[in-house]
């Protein structure tokens, strides 16, 4: 995403993506699947809004999870760990 865009323009783009994929979200299989999908979607969009490549962030996070303690979960958030991988 272009950094010069205003937050309003960025949020409008996020809402547009959500509206375009609405049909796909009906077939998640169960309420738990819907919640998991929503959480994943929220983290990916948060990474994008913070200027972090979501795929790089996700790969880095998945690689670090086995070696980390549960108390360090905040270190995996896009706006924290993104500084390391940008």
pLDDT of residue 3: 54
pLDDT tens digit sequence for 14-65: 777 766 666 666 667 777 877 787 788 888 888 887 888 888 888 888 888 8
pLDDT of residue 15: 74
pTM above threshold 0.85: no
pLDDT tens digit sequence for 39-50: 888 888 888 878
DSSP string, 12-73: HHHHHHHHHTTTGGGGSSSHHHHHHHHHHHHHHHHHHHTT--HHHHHHHHHHHGGGS-GGGG
pLDDT of residue 22: 63
Most confident of 9-13, 25-29, 53-57, 77-81: 53-57
């Amino acid at each position: 995403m272009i950094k010069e865009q205003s937050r309003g323009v960025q949020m409008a783009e996020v809402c547009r993506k959500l509206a375009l994929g609405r049909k796909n979200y009906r077939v998640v299989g169960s309420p738990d699947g819907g919640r998991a999908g929503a959480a994943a979607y929220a983290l990916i969009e948060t990474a994008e809004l913070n200027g972090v490549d979501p795929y790089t962030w996700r790969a880095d996070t998945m690689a670090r999870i086995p070696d980390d303690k549960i108390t360090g979960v905040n270190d995996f958030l896009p706006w924290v760990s993104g500084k390391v991988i940008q």
